[in-house]
Chains A and B, each alone.
Chain A
Amino acid sequence: MQSINKGLPRAIGRRGIMTGAAVAASGLAMPNIVAAQNKGAIKVGMPSVFSGVFALLGQSSAAGARMEIDKINAAGGINGLKLELITRDSKGKPDEATKVVRDLVNSEGCEIILDAETSASAFAVQELVRELGVLCIHTNSETTSLTANPKLFAPTCFRSARQGIHDAIGGGRYAADIVTKKNLFKFVTAAPDYAYGRENTASFMEYAKIFQPKIEVLDQAWPKLFQPDFTEVVTKIINAKPQALYTALFAGDLVALIDQGLLYGMFDKMETFSVNLGDYGVLTEVKQLPSGLHSGTRYNRIVPETAENQAFYTEYTAKNKDHKICNWSWENATGATFMIEALKKTEGNTDGKKLAEVIKGMTIKSPFGTKGTLTMRASDHTVIDYVVGYGVTIPKDPFIKDVYMADWGPIIEHEADWKKRNGFG
């Protein structure tokens, strides 16, 4: 390597001061330390993932929120103040997410946080927001315990995303009905090996069994998230000789499973329930869609089949040519809508507690509700009455047929029961 001379101690004074100066200079070069406060706008911070394999999360979240924010700004803003969305990339790391949220609030002057983070990071953000006290709406995390667990409750945090337990109840009912009709009860599951995959699969199968006790799970495959090769998963499924498959795989992983599964004729003798298949990004890229696959509707322009929903679809697609509309799009638009309606009520006051008081229990008109509205439930700060749908996928637009929209009455009942069983009160 280099010459030995480098190691000899030189005048620490010169070296040290130079280094110190270099360190200080580069530190001060940051714009954050000399942050200018812009009083002319309400700044909304959005931490999310904008790089790597999950980059679509951030892109669609920002696009969904912007749709609503642009609308209100065009109408003059809130009490004359425009809303400004500031996005930051946390690269999918929970510790980075907390750092980003800290920066957004402390140095960028954000007074509200639209947390478009992954479920893992959302927990970390919730902890931090408890300390910071700003209004925070989680727009993407579907993990039930985020709002169901009373120990995690934070007064200024809300969730505008769908919840795992609701999907599990609705989907479980749908699947139970189908397999009962067709007399198929032996299941195999395949889901990505991380919190979302495991919880989603567990609750779906739990409810499928509640609605149809004859259902049994023969085997379970847990591929790593984003692993390229699904051959072992396919062979495992085939070896188990199941009658039905439930998979929580999504995006590229799901398509890879389908393509690789087709090579083995995996779908020939099996009823498949794939909760994340009915996504435009997936269905437009899957070149060979096996027929008869069931999927959750996530977001679809005909579910519900209303003019408002179609209008949202048309507007979003026109404004965002670089990616397809997806589940995250509507969840973030909804979060932004709740935020905007709350700001209207507080007349622009961004105090976390005041906004929280107003959002609690708020009902808004929405194209994504089963009856045209969405409500932010006061007891646990999560949104209800959104569409929980399932149907059969088809290769052409609108990509879904035989749509079933779950009834919220039974969902709420079962949810309450689930909470009791899991010690959540």
Chain B
Amino acid sequence: MKLEALLACFGQMSCVVTQSTSALIIGMLLFLVASGVTLIFGVLNVVNFAHGTLYMLGAYIAYTVYQPTESYFLAVLAGAIGVGIFGILFERFLISKVYGQDVLMQLLVCYGVVLVMDDLVKIIWGVDFRKMSMPVAFRLPPIRLGGGLVPPFYLFLIIVSMVIGLVLWFVITKTRYGKMIRAAAVNPSMVSALGIRTPVLFASVFGLGAVLAGAAGALAAPVRALTPGMGFSIVIESFIVTVIGGMGSIGGAFAAAILLGFARSFGSVGFPLFVDGLMFLIMGLVLIFKPAGLFGRAPR
């Protein structure tokens, strides 16, 4: 425990700026992934244990597209859309078969897919880790802000993630499609009775969640090592965020992700060895005192 270091950090502007930036970048990427998890649970009542695999695919697709084209933009687009398509297929052929069944069945279907995809990635891309290079546009020195450091690439990622978050919020709260999704989350049979084709709606929601995960994987690819099985740690963290924020609440996922980002960033200054334990502790406390999460609705 190095609490004096933590207090010292709060006193220095440079430390606060640097750590806060790192908190935001951790949080925003977490949010992108977790928003997909919470969306899928909120509307489809499915706990998508395969979400980390979607993230991994986004990263690998982006890497593959980047090699010949050297275009980060294309790589991210390909990653997001490619995983979106995969997500829709996954939903249509596998997930839809376990709607309404208990969580064990969902867990098994997702786990089966995770196992298969991890091996396929190993077969296609090899056991060695892969690295996507930093796009030339971002090979810049860090910006100095109040004595602290803010890497331009991270600033870019934070802004892009916020934009995506805002677009998501807009779609869900202000568009007709968003209304349909929210209605389906509360009463799917009524939505169907109103003539809306629920299978298409459900597939699109899952696809949207997948796009979010794929985009996160693709966006982060330049600063991550790509390995088969990289989805594992992501899925655990995104579940923690979803539980804390409230399953089904995108705003909750945002708040929880930022909270965890700060916990990790400042926590690693004060108590570096217990950061993981801290995340589970927070999740445990939330489950005990407010199982619905900070912003979620009460469990059915």
Q: Which residues of A does B touch, CB under 8 Å?
A: 1, 51-53, 55-56, 59, 193, 221-222, 224, 226-229, 231-236, 238-239, 251-253, 255-256, 259-260, 262-265, 281, 285-288, 322-324
Q: Which 8 A-B pairs have the closest CB atoms?
A: A252-B225, A287-B133, A263-B151, A252-B129, A232-B268, A55-B127, A231-B22, A285-B131
Contact among B134, B142, B227, B265 for A252, CB-based, below 8 A: B227
Task: Indicate the member of B15, B127, B224, B272 with the most A CB atoms within 10 Å.
Answer: B127
Q: Is B243 located at the chain interface by the 8 A CB criterion? A: no
Judge whether B225 and A231 touch: CB under 8 Å: no
Given contacts A235-B19, A264-B149, A287-B134, contact A53 B229 (CB under 8 A): yes
Residue B228 at the chain A interface, CB threshold 8 Å: yes
Q: How far is the CB of A198 from chain B (nearest CB, A)?
A: 12
Residues of B within 8 A of A234 (CB): 22
Residue of chain B at shortest CB distance from A57: B127
Docked-complex contact B228 and A55, CB < 8 angstroms: yes
> Which partner residue on chain A sits nearest B139 by CB separation?
A288
Check B128–A256 contact: CB distance below 8 A: no
B126 touching A322 by the CB < 8 A rule?
yes
CB-based contact A59/B127 at 8 Å: yes
Q: Chain A residues near B129: list those with CB within 8 A.
A: 53, 251-252, 255, 281, 285
A285 to B222, CA, bound (A): 12
Q: Which residues of B are found within 8 Å of A235, using beta-carbon distances?
A: 18-19, 22, 149, 265
A259 touches B131 (CB 8 A): yes
Q: Please determine whether A231 and B128 come into contact, CB atoms closer than 8 angstroms.
A: no
**Chain B residue contacts of A193, Cβ below 8 A:** 273
Determine if A255 and B225 form an interchain contact, defined as CB atoms under 8 angstroms apart: yes
Q: Which of A56, A193, A229 has the most CB of B within 10 A?
A: A229
A52 vs B114: C-alpha distance in the bound complex, in angstroms? 12
Contact A239-B18, Cβ < 8 Å, known A53-B227, A259-B223, A287-B134: yes
Is A222 touching B233 in the complex (CB atoms < 8 A)?
A: no
Q: What is the minimal beta-carbon distance from A411 to any residue of chain B, in angstroms?
A: 31
Query: In the assembled complex, which residues on chain A have CB atoms less than 8 Å from the CB atom of B234?
Result: 228
Instruction: Compute how far the CA of A263 lies from the CA of B149 in the bound complex, rounded to whole angstroms.
Output: 9
Measured in the bound complex, the distance between the Cα atoms of B271 and A327 in whole Å is 34
Residue contact A238 to B229, C-beta cutoff 8 Å: no
Inter-chain contacts of A226 with B (CB < 8 A):
227, 233
Q: Is the interface of A mostly helix, strand, loop or mixed?
A: helix
B18, A238: Cβ atoms closer than 8 Å: yes
Please tell me if B230 contacts chain A, counting CB pairs below 8 Å.
yes
Contact B224 A222 (CB under 8 A): no
Chain A, residue nearest B227 (CB) = A53
Chain A residues within 8 Å of B126, by CB = 322-323
Q: Is B154 an interface residue (CB 8 A)?
A: yes
Indicate if the CB atoms of B131 and A286 lie closer than 8 Å.
yes
A228 touching B230 by the CB < 8 A rule? yes
Q: Which residues of A contact B224 (CB under 8 A)?
A: 228, 256
From known contacts A1-B102, A260-B223, A323-B127, infer whether A232 and B264 are also in contact, taking CB-CB under 8 Å: yes
A146 to chain B, nearest CB (A): 25
By the criterion CB–CB under 8 Å, are B142 and A263 in contact? yes
B276 smallest CB distance to A (angstroms): 7
Say yes or no: A256 contacts B225, CB within 8 Å.
Answer: yes
Smallest Cβ distance from B59 to chain A, in angstroms? Answer: 10
Please give, as numbers and ranges, the residues of chain A lying within 8 Å of B223 by CB-CB distance: 256, 259-260, 263
Check B141 for interface membership: any CB of A closer than 8 A: yes
The one of B22, B222, B228 in contact with A232, judged by C-beta atoms closer than 8 angstroms, is B22
How many A-B pairs have beta carbons closer than 8 Å: the answer is 114
**Considering the complex, which residues of chain B in the window 75-101 have a beta carbon less than 8 Å from any beta carbon of chain A?**
none
Instruction: Tell me whether A259 and B268 are in contact (CB under 8 A).
Output: no
Q: Which of B102, B119, B222, B268 contacts A236 (CB 8 A)?
A: B268
Is there a chain A Cβ closer than 8 Å to B26's Cβ?
Answer: yes
Which chain B residues (110-145) contact chain A, with CB distance < 8 Å?
119, 122, 126-134, 138-139, 141-142
Q: Which residues of B contact A1 (CB under 8 A)?
A: 102
With A231-B25, A256-B223 in contact, is A56–B272 under 8 Å at CB? no
Q: How far, in Å, is B299 (CB) from chain A's closest CB?
A: 18
- Known pairs A59-B127, A239-B18, A252-B129; A259 contacts B222 (CB<8 A): yes
B269 interface contact, C-beta 8 A: yes
In B198-221, which residues have CB < 8 Å from any A CB? 220
A and B contact pairs by CB, cutoff 8 A, 10 listed: A53-B227, A228-B230, A232-B264, A236-B272, A238-B18, A239-B9, A262-B139, A263-B152, A265-B141, A285-B131
Q: With an 8 A cutoff between CB atoms, is B153 at the interface?
A: yes
Looking at A221, A226, A238, A263, the one whose CB has the most chain B CB atoms below 10 A away is: A263
Q: Which residues of A contact B222 (CB under 8 A)?
A: 259
Q: Mark B38-69, 1 if CB is under 8 A from A, else 0.
A: 00000000000000000000000000000000
Of A221, A263, A323, which one neighbours B128 at CB under 8 angstroms? A323
B153 touches A56 (CB 8 A): no
Nearest-CB distance from B171 to chain A (Å)? 28
- Residues on B with beta carbons closer than 8 Å to the beta carbon of A259: 131, 134, 222-223
The CA-CA distance from A108 to B149 in the complex, in Å, is: 58
B265→A231 contact, CB < 8 A: yes
User: When chains A and B are docked, how far (Å) is the Cα of A236 from the Cα of B29?
Assistant: 20
Give chain A residues whose Cβ lies under 8 Å from the Cβ of B268. 232-233, 236
Bound CA–CA A59/B128 (angstroms): 10
CB neighbours (8 Å) of B272 from chain A are 221-222, 232, 236
The smallest C-beta distance from B45 to any residue of chain A, in angstroms, reads 16
Cβ distance B51 to chain A, nearest Cβ, rounded Å: 15
Cα(A256)–Cα(B275), bound, Å: 20
A235 to B151 CA separation, bound complex (whole angstroms): 11
| Contacting pair A238 B149 (CB below 8 A) | yes
Contact, CB under 8 Å: B153 / A263: yes
Find the residue from A59, A231, A233 having the highest chain B CB count within 10 A: A231
Nearest B residue (CB) for A232: B268
Q: Is A287 a contact partner of B131 (Cβ separation < 8 A)?
A: yes
Bound together, the chains give a CA A288 to CA B222 distance in angstroms of 11
Chain B residue at minimal CB-CB distance from A254: B225
Q: In the complex, which residues of chain B have a beta carbon less than 8 angstroms from the beta carbon of A287?
A: 131-134
Contacts of B130 in A (CB 8 A): 285
B262-288 contacts to A, CB under 8 A, are 264-265, 268-269, 272-273, 275-276
- Which residue of chain B lies nearest to A259 when distances are taken between CB atoms in the complex? B223
Q: Is the CB of B142 within 8 A of A264?
A: yes
Complex contact A262–B227 (CB within 8 A): no
CB distance from A376 to the nearest CB of B (A): 30
CB neighbours (8 Å) of A262 from chain B are 134, 139
Compute how far the CA of A25 lies from the CA of B204 in the bound complex, rounded to whole angstroms: 45
- Min CB distance A234 to B, Å, is 8
